[in-house]
Amino acid sequence: MNFRRTYEELEFAISFNDGGSGRVPGPTEWDIRLLAKVPVEEIADWTAGLEATMEVDTSWVSRIPKAPPKLEGFGWATAGGRIVGIDRKQRVVAYRNISL
């Protein structure tokens, strides 16, 4: 498996449904949540193509193992089903990709 990102620390919670009826099972709906400490030179890659926002529901972060109780210091960006929060000082990324 090849990852497009580098993680110094990684926690995640993934859920999906196989709503298809084909021969090969696969997710048709998903909710991917992760919290990662990343190298400083990769931080900008996480928000490429996303639009900065001040209003975002962050309740989903608490379901990630070892999630911080407070999210001060995070800046947020969204596009489609993706939400990304970045704490540049701590080099931490909160990421959600949802299709449900």
Q: What is the total count of domains within the chain?
A: 1
**Confidence band, pLDDT 50/70/90 cuts, at residue 29:** confident
DSSP conformational letter for 40 = G
Is 39 or 4 the better-scoring residue by pLDDT?
39
Whether residue 79 lies inside any domain: the answer is yes
Q: Which domain holds residue 73?
A: 9-19+26-93
Interval 44-95: pLDDT, tens: 999 999 999 999 999 999 999 999 999 999 999 999 999 999 999 999 999 9
The answer to whether the Cα torsion of 62, 67, 73, 75 is positive or negative is: negative
41 inside domain: yes
Would 78 be classed as within a structural domain? yes
In a domain, 2, yes or no: no
Give CA–CA dist 78/94, Å, rounded: 12
Q: Tell me, yes or no, whether 37 lies in a domain.
A: yes
- Total-model pTM: 0.85
Residue 100 falls inside a structural domain: no
Residues with Cβ within 8 Å of 55's Cβ and at least 6 positions away in sequence, in order, are none
